[in-house]
Amino acid sequence: QISEAEVALFSVSSYACQRRTTLDNHNSNLTDALSLLAENAELNNEDGRGVAFRRAAALMKALPTQVISMSQLRGLPCLGEHSLRVIKDVLENGVSSEVESTKQSKRYKALKILTGIFGVGAKTADRWIREGIYNLEQLRHSGQTLNRAQKSGLEHYDDLNEPVTKAEADAIGEIVQKAVDSVLTGSQVALTGGFRRGKLTGHDVDFLITHPEEGKEVGLMPKVVAWLESRGFLLYQKTTRNSYLESKDGPARPASNMDRFERCFSIFKLTKGKEQETASHKIWRAVRVDLVVSPISQFAFAVLGWTGSKLFERELRRWAGHEKNMSLSSHALFDNTQNKYLRATSEEEIFAYLGLEYIPPSERNA
Ligand code: DCP
Ligand code: MG
């Protein structure tokens, strides 16, 4: 037993955007358990519960040492009754019984497999399960109509469920840079998402494209996509137009947290290096790539919004709204008190407007 005097109590902010969360996690036994329950809640469309588990997991990720006793958690924010019960179970028994039974459940397994298909979300998976479809084999023989994304997702299922490495992300980055240079000189490409936070693998590769002259970026995406397509780099792509209008979408928050940039959801055909060639002798693999085009005037907000983590972004917006009476999106920052937009050309300026200490990407891994 550890006496109370021996355990150090932690003190951390309740907002993830006020914490420095690096990739080195001293409590992965606890965060894995909480993250799995968060994922399960999200897969069941229980968003409130999902966020509660995500926030609890993120708090544990930010602790400077390994937690060994419940008494260390006294006074910490973000830990609800349910999360505390899970943590207690893991600390006392090595595993959480709830996590174990979730992992074993037929429904969780089916939701994981089916949403592992690109283009399939929780709602579609739930409908299929209710029709008795639990795996890919049953789906293939079900006669269900799949859309173009889902067909592609099913075709490249194994590749797309294989983590993307940083080396692969960089190789794709070179291709994208070449495409962008060829269609509009002076354009810039930035790697965002998890790789910008220093992650070594990801489920996809996220890029943000802009041009230093405002307006030059208009119409860029179709040209980039055409360049990539003509050279055989794309297995699938769907481009959506930019639908952001400051006058219309500005201060009034969009219904979802989805931004309105011109965006291309794609599946790249990436030729493997000699070392990565497998026994199957397949010389390429499929990789999910997101391309987003931003006007330079919104670029700092877009970079901030696309660097993540998802929880860090959610917390930034919560902080902005609740503590500063401001509305933050990947397009802009609006001050509701002064009734005006706050312009920025760097992430540092945006943190400053929000009254937050600057947190670099590598410490946004909440
Ligand atoms: N994002 C966003 N709006 C969307 C999609 C994503 O603002 N419609 C943001 C939040 C994410 C980041 O962009 O942090 C990248 O999204 P990903 O889902 O690719 O997340 P990560 O890159 O962080 O994780 P992974 O390594 O799994 O790709
Ligand atoms: Mg990503």
Among left, alpha and beta (phi > 0; psi -120 to 50; other), residue 324 is alpha
Burial-class residue 162 by CB neighbours within 10 Å (0-12, 13-18, 19+).
middle
Q: Inform me whether the pLDDT recorded for 255 exceeds 50.
A: no
Q: Inform me whether the pLDDT recorded for 258 exceeds 80.
A: no
Burial-class residue 248 by CB neighbours within 10 Å (0-12, 13-18, 19+).
exposed
Nearest CA to ligand 1 atom 1: 306
Count of other CB atoms within 10 angstroms of residue 33? 26
Residues in Cβ contact with 13 at an 8 Å cutoff, skipping those fewer than 6 apart: 19, 77
Distance of alpha carbon 29 from alpha carbon 10, whole angstroms: 18
Q: What is the pLDDT averaged over residues 232-243?
A: 94
pLDDT (tens digit, 9 = 90+) per residue, 87-127? 999 999 999 999 999 999 999 999 999 999 999 999 999 99
Distance 307 CA to ligand 1 centre (A): 7
Reference 149, options 179, 119, 106; nearest CA is: 119
Q: Which atom of ligand 1 sits closest to the CA of residue 312? A: 14
Is residue 292 within 8 A of residue 302, CB to CB? The reply is yes
Distance of alpha carbon 201 from alpha carbon 161, whole angstroms: 12
**For residues 25 and 274, which has the higher predicted lDDT (pLDDT)?**
25
Q: What is the pLDDT averaged over residues 231-249?
A: 88
Residue-wise DSSP of 28-49: HHHHHHHHHHHHHHHHTT-HHH
pLDDT (tens digit, 9 = 90+) per residue, 43-85? 999 999 999 999 999 999 999 999 999 999 999 999 999 999 9
Q: Please state the pTM of the whole predicted model.
A: 0.94
pLDDT (tens digit, 9 = 90+) per residue, 184-214? 999 999 999 999 999 999 999 999 999 999 9
Beta pairing partners, 290: 206, 265
Distance of alpha carbon 216 from alpha carbon 116, whole angstroms: 37
The per-residue pLDDT of the chain, averaged, comes to 94
Nearest CA to ligand 1 atom 3: 258
Length of the chain, in residues? 366
32 is known as an active-site residue = no
Beta pairing partners, 179: none
DSSP state of 311: H
Nearest CA to ligand 1 atom 11: 308
| Predicted local confidence at residue 16, as pLDDT | 98
Distance 114 CA to ligand 1 centre (A): 20
